[in-house]
Amino acid sequence: MNTIRYRILIATLLCCFLTACSSTVRVHKGDTLYSIARKNGVSVRSLIEKNNLKAPYRIYPGQKLSIPRQRYYTVRKGDTLYSIAKKNDMTVAQLARINNLHSPYTLSVGQRLKLTEWDNTAPAANTTTTKTTANKKATTQTTKAATTTKNITIPKSAQSKRFDKPANGKIIQGFSSTENAHNEGINIAGKIGDPIKAADSGQVVYAGNELKGYGNLMLIKHKDGWITAYAHNDKLLLKKGAQVARGQKIATMGKTGNVKTPQLHFEVRYKTKVVDPQLYLNK
């Protein structure tokens, strides 16, 4: 595989792992604008404005909402708060307020400054609970298959593939593709620091925390088009490009990302098709 195709594959995989990496989310039953905003680290008002929602701000299952993204500026040698503000069509006061800076506004090279000011107050008439009785036609139109990659067929020669369970804890949430309980993997409970092991031999193609909600995440590419993902880790012990052996310790369990208790979120994919990990685990 040449370098360009390899990079395209990795970019595609990153975008498939969690809707969090995309700029849109799909509304599920029971969601509110507040819960969606909190999960994605944005304000209710910014979510409303991004999607041009009108009072009383109702949302419905199946609806797609665009998530506003924070913009940043990395300080370079010679920059001042004034020059950065001017370059980004802002005032010094606005830039200082967003980043909680105080006079004399000392900056350091490499420092990241926020460029987006989000008002954390919600509009008064904010009735945001989803309506299950919403127009069925509208719901149907917005619940089409997310991507054609989900229709990839796993050949019989690959269906016998088996992985080791990456952590020893109890499975506290299983795989589900329903609208009400969507989970593209399994969640395994444990304690902070418990070992996370590679489910199979392969190569680390991603190790970082850029994907919102997943915390410290690692992706491992295996032979014949298989990929495994390990999320919410406390520490990642390997870097991108590292070769991994089956059963090798690759991380320690944590609660980074959008979880409140220590656990591992584990996903298995054939190319870009998500599958139920429990169907492919060794007994």
In angstroms, the first-to-last Cα distance of the chain is 34
Tell me the residue length of the chain. 283
The β-bridge relationship of strands 171-173 and 72-74 is unpaired
pLDDT in tens, 171-229: 998 988 654 456 789 999 999 999 999 999 999 999 998 776 788 999 999 998 999 99
Is the four-CA dihedral 174, 229, 16, 113 of positive or negative sign?
Answer: positive
Domains and CATH numbers, the chain: 3-69+120-141 (3.10.350.10), 72-114 (3.10.350.10), 152-279 (2.70.70.10)
How much is the pLDDT for 97?
81
Residue 137 has a pLDDT of 36
Instruction: Give per-residue pLDDT as tens, 40-85.
Output: 767 777 788 788 888 777 888 999 998 877 778 888 988 888 888 8
Amino acid letter, 58: R
Rounded-to-integer distance, Cα 67 and Cα 2, Å? 34
β-pair type (249-253, 226-236): antiparallel
Choose between 195 and 114: higher pLDDT.
Answer: 195
